[in-house]
Structure 1
Amino acid sequence: MEILRPFRERIEVLDGQLAALIADRLRVCGEVAAVKKAEGIPMMQPDRVRAVCRAYAERGRALGVSPDFMAELATLLINEACRLEDEIIG
């Protein structure tokens, strides 16, 4: 389907950018985990988790993207960050 090629190419570029941003975010989460470990800060911060999910939903609403989808995306990112923190903190 040649007519879709330009759209698919744009999506591929965006997907690459998203993957790079997610990797950067997780690297920062790794740095946070190291600080938590060094300072004896508990891994789980329920208030922070709620705030991040709420912020993602609000960003989605402002950008015309489903707030529920954005909150789910935040949950996926948080779950991976927690897995990473668990590896680092032990």
Structure 2
Amino acid sequence: MTEQNELERLRAELDALDGTLLDTVRRRIGLGVRIARYKSRHDVPMMQPGRVGLVKDRAARYATEHGLDETFLVNLYDAIITEMCRVEDQVMRRESPTAGERR
């Protein structure tokens, strides 16, 4: 196998992993929609600081245990959590009993 073929094979492997990563993020956001609907039905506040801390701590531990940069994974989860909060807030506003009154 030539060096170029090897690079192409490695890039194809990377592209497949990226597809898995993106699908996982999409599924996580979809689950966030379901969580937001639950919170809306049961009057649970959107922001759960304890849960946010737990998720970030878990990411930091994972990084340490697997030889990854802790700051990178915590920053990645900051971005994911920010998007999840945005989506949850949007869903909860839409599903709120008073949402129709605001339109």
Work out the CA distance in 1 between the residues paired with 2:14 and 2:64: 22
Query: So what's the TM-score if we normalise by structure 2?
Result: 0.82
Q: Which residue of structure 1 aligns with residue 72 of structure 2?
A: 69
Residue 27 of structure 2 corresponds to 24
Runs of 4+ in 1 over 2 A off after TM superposition: none
In structure 1, the partner of 2:15 is 12
Structure 1 position 74, deviation (Å)? 0.9
Higher mean displacement: 42-51 or 1-10 = 1-10
- The percent identity for this pair of structures is 30
1-structure distance, mates of 2:13, 2:60 = 25
RMSD, aligned CA: 1.2
Aligned to 2:53: 50
Distance 1:43 1:65 in 2: 30
Offset at residue 56 of structure 1 (A) = 0.6
When the two structures are aligned, how many residues end up with a matched partner? 90
User: What letter matches 1:40 in structure 2?
Assistant: D
Structure having the larger proportion of residues in helix: 1
Question: Equivalent residue for 2:91?
Answer: 88
TM-score calculated relative to the size of structure 1: 0.94
Larger radius of gyration: 2
